[in-house]
């Protein structure tokens, strides 16, 4: 009866979630948020839990590697990855870190950062690294699938895609699209008509957001705002309280056959890890686990739980 009542409330009084919003730390700090904990209830699985907390399903899996994402046992304690280090780029406009499958939005003049889980390009159709800007905002977009996508769709599903898909429930771009001034302008940040794919590598190169999140971003972002797309697998930070933090994500595979990728460390990463007060054993373990959670690797400070 309670489940029926809840369903009625959600249908009659729908609500719009607005990503995860955090106070913006000062320039000497990069740590935002905190890890949340969730006890699995009967009938829940990672897809529904990820949606409830507005996080990506792959990041939820990385934070809980020993839990079956499809049949998590009732009563299992999950870590929700809502604590993170800001990417090491200027805090302007939109920043998308492909390795995290996250989009950060830094509204001008506000000490806040909004974090959205995103779907990105699949293997063979990778989303490119770029620094660009918002070219246009398109409500109720039409979709003109390129010949390559129409051919692949026919081969994989035996279905013929129309040359143009008009706005509506069958349009995979959803109700809103933000066009980027990159190349021929074919890269979009857009919504979706699918119930899955957020926080996964599923697109033909565009950046995919949930319907609620793209609607919010569409109405808040301005034409000409900066958009930065990076692929930063490792993030490090020395916090004002002395903590030495490292956050490691799984590198994006470039081959379907080779799914396990080696974490490549930059010169800046190695310099951070070569400091005298770094626990190298914890560093090695963190790189191996690739949990996507900030871990304290300092010898003299411990990350608060």
Task: Catalogue the active-site residues.
Answer: 190, 206
Whether 85 contacts 245, CB under 8 Å:
yes
Distance CA 64, CA 293 (A): 10
The Cα–Cα gap between 73 and 218 comes to 38
The distance of Cα 91 from the centroid of its chain, to the nearest Å, equals 17
Length of the chain as a residue count: 305
Question: Residue 223 half-sphere exposure, CB side, CA atoms within 13 Å?
Answer: 4
DSSP state string for 271-287: HHHTSTTB-HHHHHHHH
Q: Are 178 and 221 in contact (CB under 8 A)?
A: yes
Can you tell me the distance from the alpha carbon of 213 to that of 210, in angstroms, rounded to the nearest whole number? Answer: 5
Contact at 8 Å (CB) between 127 and 260? no
Contacts of 183 (CB under 8 A, 6+ apart): none
């Amino acid at each position: 009866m309670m489940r029926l009542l809840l369903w009625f409330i959600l249908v009659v009084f729908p609500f719009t979630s607005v990503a995860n919003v955090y106070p913006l730390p000062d320039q000497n700090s990069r740590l935002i948020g905190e890890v949340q904990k969730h006890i699995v209830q009967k009938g829940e699985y990672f897809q529904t839990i990820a949606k409830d907390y507005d996080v990506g399903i792959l990041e939820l899996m990385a934070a809980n590697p020993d839990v079956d994402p499809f049949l998590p046992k009732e009563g299992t304690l999950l870590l929700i990855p809502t604590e993170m280090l800001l990417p090491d780029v200027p805090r302007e406009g939109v920043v998308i870190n492909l390795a995290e499958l996250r989009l950060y939005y830094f509204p001008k003049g506000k000490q806040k950062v909004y974090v959205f889980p995103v779907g990105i390009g699949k293997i063979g159709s990778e989303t490119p690294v770029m620094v660009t800007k918002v070219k246009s905002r398109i409500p109720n977009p039409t979709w003109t699938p390129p010949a390559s996508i129409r051919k692949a769709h026919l081969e994989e599903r035996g279905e013929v895609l129309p040359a143009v898909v008009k706005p509506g429930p069958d349009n995979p771009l959803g109700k809103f699209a933000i066009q980027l001034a990159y190349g021929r302008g074919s890269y979009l940040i857009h919504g979706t008509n699918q119930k899955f794919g957020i926080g996964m590598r599923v697109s033909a190169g565009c950046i995919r957001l949930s319907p609620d999140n793209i609607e919010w971003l569409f109405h808040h972002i301005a034409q000409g705002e900066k958009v930065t797309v990076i692929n930063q697998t490792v993030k490090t930070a020395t916090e004002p309280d002395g903590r030495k933090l490292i956050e490691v994500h799984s590198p994006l595979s470039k081959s379907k056959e080779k799914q396990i990728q080696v974490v490549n460390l930059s010169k800046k990463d190695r310099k951070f890890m070569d400091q005298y007060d770094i626990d190298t054993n914890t560093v090695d373990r963190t790189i191996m686990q690739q949990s996507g959670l900030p871990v304290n690797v300092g010898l003299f400070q411990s990350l608060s739980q």
